[in-house]
Chain A
Amino acid sequence: MTVKFTKDHEWVKLDGEGIAVIGITEYAQHALGDLVYIELPKVGASYSKGAHFAVVESVKTAAEVYTPVTGEVVEVNEALETDFDLLKSETDGWIAKFSMTNADELKGLMDEAAYQDYLKTVE
């Protein structure tokens, strides 16, 4: 299963037909520091590509999480609310699943190698 990345440090991967699973990268988690709260979206809410659908709060700051795809939230990872460490998990660290309206939106995103190169340019 291919994982794609955004410049805002979200990752997105496909889960079955037309479902995009979105989380934030290790880089983003490290930059945020100790997490204290996650504001999750509601199932059924719709977002356009680039809109913020969740907020991850650390002691230091609040970071909005943007969706790289347009669609409707079909599932949220409620386990995150009580276990922030879960974000680190490759399998269970997702924030929300979206039913995509346009899978072509994924095409403009970076693959793993491109993201690693991108990280070198951002400090």
Chain B
Amino acid sequence: MKQTPLHASHMKLGAKMGEFAGYDMPLYYDLGVLKEHEWVRDHAGLFDVSHMGQIAIKGKGTQDLLQRLTPSSFEKLSVNRTKYTVLINDQNGIIDDLMVTKAGDDDFHMVINAGCKDKDIAWIKSNLTPDHEFTYFEDWALIALQGPEAEAVMRDVLGIDLSDVPYMGLWFQDYTMFVSRLGYTGEDGFEISVPNDKAEELWTKLLSDGRVKPIGLAARDSLRLEMGYCLYGHDIDATTTPLEADLGWVMRKDAKDSLPTPTRKRVGIVLTDKGVAREGSLVKSKDGKEIGVLTSGGFSPSLKQSIGQTYLPLDYATPETEINVDVRGRLIPAKVQSMPFLKPRTKNAGK
């Protein structure tokens, strides 16, 4: 199994490790999943996300290339700002979801999913022309600091004042550290990119602050699920189009118009009775028809209810529609709910 540059740190912290996308990753540390989840919502949590891929493309025509590989427009994106989008194939299926940062004209950096790295890079490379320069930052680590105290920790521990950096904005220093104000938790926070040999020092420094606890992939999953964010390979994949996935908001108008009108849509569901429904549970209409399968599901520590995502035919996709979820043969009443399940508290949220 592959390891991130922080593997030894996780072992030292006594993390429960497990395989994710070919990497031996921390699932949870001594706090346990529930308390780690709550810690991120209340304070600041530190995540090793170095398994994700960091790549860059620059050179003449790069912006046009990205507008072919994704359904998004990058024309109005300011320099040092990031946009969430998806890579799509010729059938409009989603190859991956990713963050794209404009570093300059025809100069873009991307963060892609660990499990999609090989196919993404192959796909992108097959679309390059000699004008493009492609870089895979294999020897760079990525550390996320997420939670309402993240900005204060960055200031007090690293001496970096990020108060003026907007959501999806970038701060960097001497090309040795890139800090983006974004994340996968719905909280204010940052993803920090540093060379591998600087990762452990940064990790240890941030953890030395009492407001910071290490957080594993299990809580990362429950945090993102509460926000209705997609997990690639589960909630979206090559068989789902961005419109079906309810990601029309990342699309240009022409890209949207070129897609067939979807007959199903990704929606949130919440169990209205006790129980926990997980990925793979069948979703049934009140009259017993199988109408979907949970693509994600689990207990929401913030809501104290079981929540999930599924694709439902449009007739059933309206919020408040009553449905059942089959959990080991027991039908548990549930309803469709608009996502996010919880109000995001990212910088400038609601403004």
- A residues lining the B interface (CB < 8 Å): 33-34, 36-37, 39, 55, 57-60, 62, 81
For this complex, 6 residue pairs linking A to B, each with C-beta atoms less than 8 Å apart, are A33-B34, A57-B276, A57-B299, A58-B33, A59-B34, A60-B218
What residues on B are CB-neighbors of A81 within 8 Å?
A: 274
What residues on B are CB-neighbors of A34 within 8 Å?
A: 32-35
CB-nearest residue of chain B to A35: B34
| Any A CB within 8 A of the CB of B328 | yes
Q: Are B275 and A59 in contact (CB under 8 A)?
A: no
- Contact A33:B328 (CB < 8 A) given known A59-B299, A59-B301: no
Q: Are B299 and A36 in contact (CB under 8 A)?
A: yes
Count of CB-CB pairs between chains A and B under 8 Å: 38
For the A-B complex with A36-B299, A57-B276, A59-B299 known, give 11 more contacts whose Cβ atoms are closer than 8 Å.
A33-B28, A37-B276, A39-B275, A39-B330, A55-B328, A59-B34, A59-B37, A59-B298, A60-B28, A60-B33, A62-B278
CB-nearest residue of chain B to A57: B276
In chain B, positions 288-307 with a C-beta closer than 8 Å to chain A are: 298-299, 301, 306
Q: Are A59 and B222 in contact (CB under 8 A)?
A: yes
What residues on A are CB-neighbors of B222 within 8 Å?
A: 59
Q: Are A33 and B32 in contact (CB under 8 A)?
A: yes
Q: B275 is contacted by which of A33, A37, A58 (Cβ under 8 Å)?
A: A37
Chain B interfacial residues counted at CB < 8 A: 19
CB-nearest residue of chain A to B31: A34
In chain B, positions 40-96 with a C-beta closer than 8 Å to chain A are: none
- Inter-chain CA distance A59–B31, complex, in Å, is 13
- Inter-chain CA distance A57–B305, complex, in Å, is 13
Q: Are B32 and A37 in contact (CB under 8 A)?
A: no
- Inter-chain CA distance A55–B278, complex, in Å, is 14
What residues on A are CB-neighbors of B301 within 8 Å?
A: 59
Q: Mark B259-271, 1 if CB is under 8 A from A, else 0.
A: 0000000000000
Q: Are B218 and A59 in contact (CB under 8 A)?
A: yes
What residues on B are CB-neighbors of A57 within 8 Å?
A: 275-276, 299
- Inter-chain CA distance A58–B37, complex, in Å, is 14
- Nearest CB on A from B125, distance (A): 38
What residues on B are CB-neighbors of A59 within 8 Å?
A: 33-34, 37, 218, 222, 298-299, 301
What residues on A are CB-neighbors of B275 within 8 Å?
A: 37, 39, 57
What residues on A are CB-neighbors of B330 within 8 Å?
A: 39
- Inter-chain CA distance A89–B328, complex, in Å, is 28
- Inter-chain CA distance A36–B34, complex, in Å, is 9
Residue of B27, B35, B299, B328 with most chain A CB atoms under a 10 A cut-off? B299
